[in-house]
Each structure stands twice: as C-alpha cells, then as structure tokens.
Amino acid sequence: MSQKPLVELKDVKKRIGKKDIIHGLTFDIYGGEVFGFLGPNGAGKTTTIRMMVGLMSLSGGQILIKGKNIESHYKQAISEVGAIVENPEMYKFLTGYQNLIHYRRMVKGVSKGRIAEVIELVGLTNRIHEKVKTYSLGMRQRLGLAQALLHSPSVLILDEPTNGLDPAGIREIRYYLRQLAEKEGIAVIVSSHLLSEMELMCDRIAIIQNGKLIGVQSTKEFVESGTERKVRFLVDDPAAARHAVSHHVKAERITLGNEYLEAEMEREMIPEVTATLVVEGVKVYGISSETKTLEDKFLEVTGGKEIV
C-alpha cells in the first residue's frame, strides 16, 4: 500500500433542498487496495460516489484525487478516475465498440490497441460489434467496466459492480479487481449493500448509514485477528470443565450451559484449552467457534432491518 492516499474525503457534506443526505464523511483510500463502501439502501453511497466524480457539487468539505480537488481542478482530478455510477447505461443504438470509441474521443492518449485490450479483459470480444440493446445486463456491466478502464485510471470507482452478474462473473470480477489493485496499484472503490461479497474482495470496508460514517475496518483484521470470540465446548460435565479452564480464562468470561461451556478467548487459545480439558478428563463432544463477522457488525450497527 502506498503512503500517500489516492483519494481523500474531508468532511464531505451534501444537502439537497432542506435534507442533509451526507453528514460529513472523512476517509482516505490508498493505491493498491480494494475499498468497500457498505451501507443499506439509501445510506448515501451513490450520492457520495456522484460527488467523487463531479456529477454533484459538494455542500461542504472537499474531495481530493491524487491531491487534486475534484471541484476546483476537475479535469486533472477526473483524468485519474474511471467509474460506473449506478447502472452502466450505454448508448443502446450503438455497438459496444462504438460506445468505447465514443469515450476514447473524450480523453487523450488512448490507442486503438488499448480498446482491444480492455475488450479482451472484460471478455466481450465475441459480441463487441453488436448493438448494446442486444446485450444482457451482465454484458452491459462488462462494457461499463471496459469504459471505466479505457484510459488506465489510477482510481476505479464502481457502484454495485456485481449487480446483474452471474456467480462466475462475480468471481471473475472479484479476481480481476484484486489484480488491478495488487498488480497495478490502482485504488479500487466498490459500493455494495451485500456484505458477504465485500468480505471476499475488499481490503478495507467503510460502513455508512444515513449519510454518516460508522466505521472503517480492515477485512483481514476481522477474519484472523486476535479479537476474542465465543467458543463453545460441548462437554459431559460443565462444572468440571470450568475448573479445568479457569487458569486459562477469567471467570467472568465463562458461561455455563446445561451440557456446554462457553468461553471468550482468542483463536490461538483454542487448542490449548482443548488440551487442558482432555488432560483433566472432561469429555469433549464438540467445539464450535462463533466468529464475529463483519456481517454481525454490520447488522449490529445498522439494526439489521434495512438491509436488502
């Protein structure tokens, strides 16, 4: 991960009419990472993305792309950005290829070879000379991606990129976005309200709700971190088990059930505790660990009701 952030949001606010939609978002996104932008419907993901690409003005704060302010230095800032905002709507009466030619004419220095390259990349070679109106949703999504990558941007912003893709397509795009981040050092920003998907492809995830940032977390930390989790041991004698584990785990972290013992501990502790139980002659029928996934966190912070 590079040192200087490629995208900086500083207390970004948006007010439409009398309604505050975004209440001051601050976070940085670095080159080489896939950054997830997670929130329930209506959280303000698309609105934030619109501000990041200059489609909407900011009511407060600023957005810098490679240090360039998107509002005051629009052309320089936007040159670094490739994006899909909501659905990738293309000119339906043109072919996929003509659509790409259209966008090529709007930037400097994109060769015909580059067009062929991105077409190949998104796997549209066979259908590129057909009219877009004959494309399926997934194919349009791919064409949208091709359009966003055309000018080799250093920041890629995709609003719900897996929308309409089949499982194979989702896996492909996930793999591909990771490649872009890792191999080319691009900052990839994806929004979604599907957490499971985000966990698989993002390095860090920002959770927003009602236009407020709830937190930015590293996905890795969550999956393998030392954070404690509840581990349940199915045992024949919970009381004996408590005695056995008492010098590993503090008493207040232990709960007893009818035929089980639950203890909060770090992942690394599990084998040790298990061994102790066995040595002490407690019969262990099963061990289950309840990882606190981002989803739990997400459900926790968003109340769980609003997620689709």
Partner 1 sequence: MSNFIGLIQNENMKIYRRMGNLIMILLLIGFIGLTGILTKTDKTKPVSDNWKQELKAENAAMQKTIKKEPMMKSHYERSIALNEYRITHDIKPVDAKSQWSFVGESPDAIQFILIFTIIVAGGMVASEFSWGTIKLLLIRPVSRTTILASKYLSTMLYALLLIIITFVFAWLWGGVLFGFDFSPGTHLSYANGKVVEENIVWHMWKEYGFASILLLMMATFAFMMSTIFRNSSLAIGFSIFLSMSGTVAVQLLSKYDWVKYILFANVDLKQYFDGTPLIKGMTLNFSLSVLAVYFVLFTALSWLVFKKRDVAA
Ligand X SMILES: Nc1ncnc2c1ncn2[C@@H]1O[C@H](COP(=O)(O)OP(=O)(O)OP(=O)(O)O)[C@@H](O)[C@H]1O
Residues that bind Mg ion (CB under 5 A): 46
Which residues contribute to the site for partner 1 (CB under 8 A)? 16, 50, 53-57, 74-76, 78-79, 81, 83-94, 98, 101-103, 105-108, 144, 147
Tokens of 217: 């977390």
In sequence order, which residues have a C-beta less than 8 Å from that of residue 251 and are 6 or more positions away? none
16 part of the interface to ligand X, by CB under 6 A: yes
Closest CB 103 distance from partner 1, rounded Å: 7
Q: Find which of partner 1, ligand X, Mg ion, none residue 56 binds, CB within 5 to 8 Å per kind.
A: partner 1
**Using alpha carbons only, how large is the chain's radius of gyration in Å?**
24
Which residue, 55 or 275, is less far from partner 1 as judged by CB?
A: 55
Which residue, 50 or 140, is less far from ligand X as judged by CB?
A: 50
Write b or e for each residue in 239-260: b if 16 or more Cβ atoms lie within 10 A of its Cβ, otherwise e: ebbbebbeeebeeeebeeeeeb
Closest CB 30 distance from partner 1, rounded Å: 22
Do residues 32 and 24 touch, judged by C-beta distance below 8 A?
no
In sequence order, which residues have a C-beta less than 8 Å from that of residue 99 and are 6 or more positions away? 90, 91, 132, 143, 147
Closest CB 19 distance from ligand X, rounded Å: 6
Which residue, 46 or 99, is less far from ligand X as judged by CB?
A: 46
Instruction: Indicate the residue whose CB is closest to ligand X.
Output: 46
3-state secondary structure of 38: strand
Q: What is the contact mask toward ligand X in residues 20 to 59, using x (rule: CB under 6 A)?
A: -x-----------------x-xxxxxxx------------
Closest CB 82 distance from partner 1, rounded Å: 8
DSSP for 146-206, written as a single string:
HHHHTT--SEEEEESTTTT--HHHHHHHHHHHHHHHHHH--EEEEEES-HHHHHHH-SEEE
Do residues 32 and 187 touch, judged by C-beta distance below 8 A?
yes
Do residues 230 and 290 touch, judged by C-beta distance below 8 A?
yes
Q: What is the contact mask toward ligand X in residues 166 to 205, using x (rule: CB under 6 A)?
A: ---------------------------x------------
H or E element that contains 12: strand 5-16
Closest CB 207 distance from partner 1, rounded Å: 23
Residues that bind ligand X (CB under 6 A): 16, 19, 21, 39, 41-47, 193
